[in-house]
Structure 1
Amino acid sequence: MPSLDQPYRGGFVGPEHRFALTVYFEDTDTAGIVYYANYLKFMERARSDMLRAAGIDQRAAMEGGDGVYAVAEAHIRYHRPARLGDDLLLVSTVGPVRAASTVIHQRVMRGTELLAQATVTAAFITLDGRPTRQPREWVERFRSIASQN
């Protein structure tokens, strides 16, 4: 059994990264429905956890001056609303990997029901905001994960 003193961590099941969360009151509007922008927050948490699970240390890269990921583009489609108390699963897969960016496909699920899906392009940039190549080992990890599809 996981320690109750440790934060939840998702992980990979084959090529899919899975990250579970529960909808809390703060995530909803007065009708108890998840506010649309909060799906982007949920997806950000899942992507950050996916990087961690892939062995990518964003904080070390940032502190070392290597660069950071920034969302360059996001396309999201909402299918059904999530509600207060729902248990959700965010499923993320790696799409095309380029020298300075990676595409990540994400789905928000409630059981087998698709609630939202997105395609996000994460660009690797210098600390002053200019695009730069991702570290070679990161590109190799992403391509390895993507090749499992």
Structure 2
Amino acid sequence: MDVSFAPGRFAGLEHHFVLRVYFEDTDLSGVVYHANYLRFMERARSDMLALAGIDQRAAHEAGEGAYALREANIRYRAPARLGDELVVVSRLVRLRPAAVDIHQRVMRDVTIVAEAEIEAVFVAPSGRPRRQPAAWMERFTPLLFKGN
């Protein structure tokens, strides 16, 4: 992935990904449809990984594997609406040989709109968990958030 195109950025240990709510993201009432928050968070995670130097596509094409979500616990706190500018803030909170835990919150200014605890597992093409590449672990370690 060409990171010069990546729309996000790191602010210390947190990755910030800005997006705007479009009509296609909303339901009939003009509020963001609940499933779309997962899409917003996925885009932010992909951007964060690319900026950290993780080439998911190359790993997949080389037959090494890819990340799959094992768990996503999401809490909706306030509605986002058509035209809102949101920021998805992501931080790595736990790193294990085959998995990474990421806390994400979707913000509108200072208001938390939604937040989630995500567990992503690195899986072989067979779908079984396997150790993620050592180089990825090395890139993640300095980004690991230690604290609340």
Q: TM-score, normalised by structure 2?
A: 0.94
Q: 1:128 deviation in Å? A: 1.5
**Equivalent pair of 2:122/2:130 in contact (CA under 8 Å):** yes
**Where do 5+ consecutive residues of structure 2 fail to align?**
none
Aligned to 1:138: 136
Q: Structure 2 matches for 1:59-138, cutoff 5 A? A: 59-138=57-136
**Where do 5+ consecutive residues of structure 1 fail to align?**
1-5
RMSD of aligned residue pairs (Cα, Å): 1.3
Displaced runs of 4+ in structure 1, greater than 4 A? none
Instruction: Tell me the percent identity.
Output: 56
Matched residue type, 1:80: A
Q: 1:148 deviation in Å? A: 6.9
1:40-94 residue CA offsets vs partner (Å, 9 max, x unmatched): 0000000000000100000000000111000010000000000000000000000
**How many residues are paired up?**
144
Q: Does structure 1 residue 36 correspond to structure 2 residue 30?
A: no
Q: TM-score, normalised by structure 1?
A: 0.93
